[in-house]
Structures are given as C-alpha cells and as structure tokens.
Amino acid sequence: MADAVSDPWGDHLLTGNNLTNSRYRLLEYLAENEGEFVPGSALTDRLGFSRQALSKVVSALKEEGLDIISVPQKGYMIKNIMETDRISPTLVDFLLRDDPIFRKCIYFPRITSTQHVIKDLARQDAPEGIVAVTDEQTEGRGRRGRSWYAPVSKNLLFSVLIRPELKPGDVQLLNLAAGLAVRSVLAGGYGIGAKLKWPNDILVNGRKICGILSEAAGEPDRIYYAVTGIGLNVNFTEEDLEEEYREIATSIMIERGVTAPRPLLLARILKTLSSLIIDLNRPEGIAKLLSVYRNECDTIGREVSVLQDDNDFRGTAVGITEQGALVVKSDNEEKIFAAADVHHLRMK
C-alpha cells in the first residue's frame, strides 16, 4: 500500500479513501458471486463492516448505477455487471484491476473539461494512470481551440494522465497510440470498421465517431506530463443530435443499432492503450507502433489538403515520420506537418 506521508496521492487517489475502498472491496466480493445472493453476515464477516456500514456502502454502489438487490433473509446480489452503462468509478477501477498503468478512475457528473481536471492533478504531482471521466462537459475542448460537443450521458468523455519517457516533440505519438487503441476496440469488441484519419480522427463512412486531444508540459528534452483526452460517440441516436451534427457525426449505437455499456468500453480502451503506452518507452516499441499506424492510417496514399496558418498545401500523403508527423508530397516539394488540419480530397 502507498505511504500516505511520502506519497500524498497514495491514500486518496490510488488506494482510495475509506468509503471508496469499502465500495471497491464490496463490489469485488459481490462480483465473485454475480447472480447469487450473498448473506449479509458473510459480507460483514469478510469485509469487517458493521451492518449499518454495509447498508451505507451498498447504497453508495447503487447510487453509482450498479444493479444490486437486497432481500431479507437472503442477502445481497449483484447482476448485469458488464451491462452497466452508468459511469460507476468503482466498477471502472474493478475492471482495470490488473492494468499496469490505468488504475484509478475519478468521475464527475458534470465538469468544465476532463482535460482541466487531469492537468490540475498533474501539476500537483499526481501519479500516472489517473482517468477522469464525465457525463457532461461545459467547456469540452477539441483540437485547435475548438469546442467539443456531446449529448449528455451518451458518450465516453475522458482524459488520462500519462508520464511517458518522451520529448515534447513526440506528443503526437500519444494521439496515434490512442487512435490505434480505440480503432482496435471498435473492431474487436463491436464489429465496427473505423478508419484513422491523421492525426487523431476516427471515422466510420466519413462520419466522426471519435476525437482525441493530447497535450503535454515539459522541457525541451523531457515531458513532465501528458494529458490524452478522448471523446468517443457511444449511445446517441441521430435524433439525440443537434441538426448541424447529423451529417458529420456517428456513434456505436448508430452503426450497430444497439447500445454499448460505457464502463466496459472504457476499460477495454484503457487496457489496449496501456500496452501501446508501455511500448512508447522503448525505441523498438515506437518503431512497432509507427509501423502498425502507417499500415492502418487511411490518410496515407490519399490526395490531401493540409491547412496550416491559413496556407492550403495540396499533395499526396506519403508517410509518417518517427515523431508521428505527416509527410505530404506535391509535384515540386515535400513537406512535413507536425500538426495540422487535413482534408481527404479523393477516395483511394
């Protein structure tokens, strides 16, 4: 267990305060027996709670959205864990219990932006691996200072704190890793064949299903912290969307016709992202990630228009550099874009 004196974050964020910890331990025990009643006495004995404390912790888990029933003489039963759609931070922590990086989820029903939350924590020396999730952002941010719109409680809106062994110029690699992670989960878990548009858009049939924003702080040769934010469109229908977004946005629900429970989806993405982030700490891991990205990126080989500082450069996207920048070749010159807005001009 973390030392609360030498590591002020250990107690609160990593192991949780008492109530958080109690929720986790109760969920763990109930989940071992999912679909069966566990007598109250077995819970109080094993967890060391009083009857009163047990009922308080059960209520707290129910408030998080977990499906727990209690029947006199029988005890407590949890059901439908993987179908839970409410963002229960205890459930997310439970689903991430073996993850090497992401272990602690903090949830806000409504917040300015999860990017702000994680940046604030990072500046206070919080450890890598914290995940901030919300159902509603009042100042949701997209790339290049744009705002990020999302219908309330329908999407995954989250940011993670990473402390990678990278230089600030390499931050684009985090966008590529996050894009690969989301794309892989959409394909493997939900049968959606999404495409990666450099640097960080994920599209299905030309409509956006996910946006990613990575920001970093550091010195020229070292990142202190990076914040990667992901907005993934999950459970909205076209009717849930404001008119102006209907042509340009899609969701898992629109593509598959069924809802996707968000805590499970979040845990799948984070687990996939973990292994890619671990790869980023080794040169051969970066080379592997770049090779996978170059193969999967739908921008490569296309005629593109790249908008940067009011200039429109047109050419063919021919490659991705070691730092994740886009290489575009026109008839008479080749340019490298570390960050820019790209438009695909023609189908491949």
Integer Cα distance of 168 and 186 in angstroms? 29
Cβ contacts of residue 322 below 8 Å, gap of 6+?
286, 290
Tell me how far CA of residue 316 lies from CA of 196, 291, 322, in angstroms. 16, 19, 19
In the complex, least distance from residue 300 CB atom to ligand BTN, rounded to whole angstroms: 19
- Kindly write out the interface string for residues 48-67 of this chain, putting x where it contacts ligand BTN by CB under 6 A and - elsewhere: --------------------
For residue 228, state whether it binds ligand BTN (rule: CB under 6 A).
Answer: no
Q: Which two tokens stand for residue 271?
A: 């687990």
For residue 153, state whether it binds ligand BTN (rule: CB under 6 A).
Answer: no
Q: Which of 88, 115, 172, 235 binds ligand BTN (CB under 6 A)?
A: 115
- E-assigned strands of the chain? 67-71, 75-79, 104-108, 130-134, 156-162, 195-197, 201-204, 207-219, 222-232, 303-308, 311-320, 326-329, 334-337, 341-344
41 HSE (CA, 13 A, CB side): 3
For residue 212, state whether it binds ligand BTN (rule: CB under 6 A).
Answer: yes
Q: Which two tokens stand for residue 235?
A: 């459970």
The region of 29-37, 71-79, 154-162, 172-180 touching ligand BTN under the rule CB under 6 A is 154-162
For residue 213, state whether it binds ligand BTN (rule: CB under 6 A).
Answer: yes
Residues 187-206 that bind ligand BTN (CB under 6 A): 201
Closer CB to ligand BTN, 181 or 213, in the complex: 213
Q: Which of 137, 214, 251, 272 binds ligand BTN (CB under 6 A)?
A: 137
Cβ(199)–Cβ(175) below 8 Å: yes
For residue 119, state whether it binds ligand BTN (rule: CB under 6 A).
Answer: no
Q: Which two tokens stand for residue 300?
A: 């490569």
In the complex, least distance from residue 203 CB atom to ligand BTN, rounded to whole angstroms: 11
Residue numbers at the binding site for ligand BTN (CB under 6 A): 113-115, 137, 140-143, 146, 148, 157-159, 201, 211-213, 229-231
